[in-house]
Amino acid sequence: MASLSSSKADVSQSNFRFRCIGCGDLSDAASQDFRCGRCRDLLEITYPAWKELSYSAEQLKSTWKDRRVSQEAIDLSGVWRFRELLPAIADKRLAITLREGNTPLYDLPRCARTAGVPRLFAKHQGMNPTGSFKDAGMTVAATFARNAGFSWVACASTRNTSASMAAYAARGGMRSLVLVPEGKISWSKLSQALDYGAVTCQLRTDFDGCLRLLQELVLRAPVYQLNSINPFRLEGQKTLALELLEQLDWQPPDHIIVPGGNLGNSSAIGKALLEIRELGLIERLPKLSVIQAEGANALVRTLREASGKKLVPVQADTRATAIRIGNPASWKKAVRVLEATGGACEQVSEVEMAQAKAEIGAEGIGCEPASAVTLAGLKKLVKQGFVKPDESVVLVLTGNLLKDPDFTIDFHRGELFKETNNAGQTAALAKLQRPPVVLDATLDAVTRVLNEAEKS
Ligand code: F0G
């Protein structure tokens, strides 16, 4: 099959427009807060020229495959490799890249048995350069920030966004400002932002308060906002779906399950699936489902109590700090993709999440707590009959195990739920706990531990 020539593959400079998700208004430029000038709703990126695309789905697939053997920086990026479906940049060398994407798809045979499905995979976005899925969006949005002439970028964050933004800003020669909630700190994520040189403000508020403040700040100061309200972020995050389908030889799974916080990622993956189908790269849509923590379940409540028509915000509280968000900005986009793909929205308890995290860890994979809601949610969706016993499922693991070591250590030491009454679940959790033991340095002591472990 003929590939696209490299010049043809680089789509023209202005291949996209902004479209308001509320009133549908189309524009060539966006204001600093990325809201519609007419109705204030969020913007998305649309590609009017796709209708006249001169290359076929098969040509696209083979071009993307060919680029895997290229040594050019832009082709080594698992995001920019799919650049025909991204906003175009004038020159390939302008992309700020850390070779993001290119993340593994693992099978999870033991978790599959526990959940009751025949084939279960994990698309591990925690294997990105800064350890979370944010890098896929950040490479695109940071590139456009620099192209627009900004020397400062900023974000509000539960901390993965800030780690990623700080890294890409540093690579691109820009300064970065981070607004994060004080307290419930993951030292790993904070240390990343500091090392990459961000100016870090820990505000006495929650994530939602940080985001509100940022939205005001970007209208007054020359800083470019890199939250997932920024539609360039979502375009980069779309490539997760492309890479996943390529790894599955373009045979879509029955279900894709993703954690939900501010709901940018689910919106991005859903947008990708719809676009990929429109372009003829797949014929059948997987169902995209979103799982939230019970204590941060704004989307679940929005769908159950308001039929997805208006947001039901909550006061968020969960040990999965990455998704401790009560007022998700992209809720409308998420409702739309759930409806379009026929996906479900569920919530899981802290115990269910912790158990699922340990089960994923026991497969030698590991992830951060927010990612583990996907497996916990899958178990519920199987019990409810939404996921059928013969269907294939992909869980999107959004963050690396090393992002939140406190959670993991507290879990294995049995300290995570010390103050809560969950007697019923203690036995199930105990089977998964592997607390470290302190011993005298003798052969006898170690042999005793080995023998005990053999029996368990
Ligand atoms: N998983 C992880 C590890 C995250 O860091 C986040 C969001 C999510 C899931 C939820 O994704 O917001 O697109 O629905 N973290 C953000 C941050 C908000 O600031 O790092 P979402």
Pairing outcome for strands 392-397 and 152-156 = unpaired
Residue with CA closest to ligand 1 atom 11: 261
Output the CA–CA distances (angstroms, integers) from residue 238 to 79, 138, 235, 241, 376, in the order listed: 9, 12, 5, 6, 24
- The pLDDT, as a whole number, for residue 55 is 79
> To test the ligand 1 pocket, which listed residue (123, 159, 160, 297) has its Cβ within 8 A of the most ligand atoms?
160
Regions of the chain where pLDDT drops below 70: 1-13, 421-424
What per-residue string of b and e applies to 128-151 under the rule 16 or more CB within 10 Å gives b?
bbbbbbbbbbbbbbbbbbbbeebe
- The pLDDT, as a whole number, for residue 421 is 66
Q: Structure tokens of 406?
A: 């406190």
Q: How far is the CA of 285 from the centre of ligand 1 (A)?
A: 24
- The pLDDT, as a whole number, for residue 54 is 72
Q: Structure tokens of 389?
A: 């016993």
Residue with CA closest to ligand 1 atom 19: 157
Q: Which helix (DSSP H) or strand (DSSP E) does residue 102 occupy?
A: none
Name the nearest CA neighbour of 86 among 59, 46, 57, 28: 46
Q: How far is the CA of 376 from the centre of ligand 1 (A)?
A: 17
- The pLDDT, as a whole number, for residue 456 is 79
Burial tier of 254 (Cβ tally within 10 Å: 0-12, 13-18, 19+): middle
For residue 197, the tally of other CB atoms under 10 A from its CB is 14
Q: Which helix (DSSP H) or strand (DSSP E) does residue 287 occupy?
A: strand 287-293
CA-to-CA distance for 268 and 325, rounded, in angstroms? 18
* Full set of structural domains in the chain with CATH: 105-129+237-421 (3.40.50.1100)
CA-to-CA distance for 415 and 426, rounded, in angstroms? 12
Give the tens place of pLDDT for each residue, 391-441.
Answer: 999 999 999 999 999 999 999 999 999 877 666 677 789 999 999 999 999
For the chain, the C-alpha Rg in angstroms (whole number) is: 22
- The pLDDT, as a whole number, for residue 1 is 35
